């Protein structure tokens, strides 16, 4: 199971690097990076919570 988490972490890290690189290319201010990273984190936590809740209900 830890191998799955490692792969998911690598995928998330790659996604964030690519997204931040793209945001740098379009000259967004630094605080926009923090807002977007926070939004991605909240979205990921919401998806994980909903998925865990659905697994418990079945």
pLDDT tens for the chain, 58 residues long, are 577 778 877 888 888 889 889 988 999 888 888 998 889 889 888 988 888 888 888 7
Helices (runs of H) and strands (runs of E) counted in the chain: 2, 0
Question: pTM value?
Answer: 0.64
What pLDDT is stored for residue 35 in this prediction?
A: 92
What pLDDT is stored for residue 25 in this prediction?
A: 93
What pLDDT is stored for residue 47 in this prediction?
A: 87
1 in helix, strand or coil? Answer: coil
In a 13 Å sphere around the CA of 23, the CA atoms on its Cβ side amount to: 16
Positive or negative, the CA dihedral 20, 24, 28, 34 is positive
């Amino acid at each position: 199971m830890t191998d799955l988490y490692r792969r998911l972490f690598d995928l998330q890290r790659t996604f964030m690097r690519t997204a931040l690189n793209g945001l740098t290319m379009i000259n967004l201010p630094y605080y926009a990076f923090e807002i977007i990273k926070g939004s991605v984190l909240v979205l990921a936590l919401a998806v994980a919570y909903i998925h865990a809740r659905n697994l418990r209900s079945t």
